[in-house]
């Protein structure tokens, strides 16, 4: 697991499991912190067939600039025959997606699939 800290205070934890990169930002994702997330997601979606999961469960606030970063990363992944999935149980985040008409755009998971979670049983389903 790696930690990437942006100049402006966003902390990103990152791990790779079975070829899938899991990025877990912590804190607020806004106009000041979105560039650090954008830089990391751009790097992760630069190659062929990227498989990225952005775990938003430790994010306390997200604004439209950070939402734009997630849209860009999703589009970059799809163009390269990959995928970007989001993990969130937040009703506020779901409302944000609904109000921006993006609620059907992202693959939104309530938790990490067990195949990507630490100490996972082999062949298990959702966490």
Q: What is the per-residue pLDDT for 40?
A: 95
> Is the domain covering 2-105 a CATH 3.30.750.24 domain?
yes
Q: Quick check: 5 pLDDT over 80?
A: no
Q: Quick check: 116 pLDDT over 90?
A: no
- Grouping H, G, I as helix, E, B as strand and the rest as coil, residue 101 is coil
Q: What is the per-residue pLDDT for 124?
A: 36
Answer yes or no: are the C-beta atoms of 46 and 73 closer than 8 Å: no
Q: Tell me how far apart the alpha carbons of residues 28 and 15 are, in angstroms, rounded to a whole number.
A: 20
Mean pLDDT of 8-22: 85
Q: What is the per-residue pLDDT for 122?
A: 40
pLDDT tier at 117 (50, 70, 90 boundaries)?
confident
Based on DSSP, count helices (H) and strands (E) in the chain, helices before strands: 3, 7
The structural domains of the chain, with segments of one domain joined by +, span 2-105
């Amino acid at each position: 697991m790696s930690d990437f800290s942006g100049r402006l205070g966003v902390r990103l934890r990152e791990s790779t499991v079975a070829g899938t990169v899991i990025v877990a930002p912590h804190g607020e994702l806004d106009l000041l912190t979105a560039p650090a997330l954008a830089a990391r997601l751009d790097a992760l979606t630069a190659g062929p067939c990227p498989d990225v999961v952005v775990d938003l469960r430790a994010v306390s606030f997200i604004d439209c600039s950070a939402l734009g970063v997630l849209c860009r990363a999703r589009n970059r992944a799809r163009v390269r025959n990959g995928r970007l999935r989001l993990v969130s149980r937040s009703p506020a985040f779901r409302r944000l997606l609904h109000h921006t008409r993006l609620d059907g755009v992202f693959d939104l998971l309530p938790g990490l699939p067990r195949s990507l979670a630490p100490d996972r049983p082999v062949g298990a389903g959702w966490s």
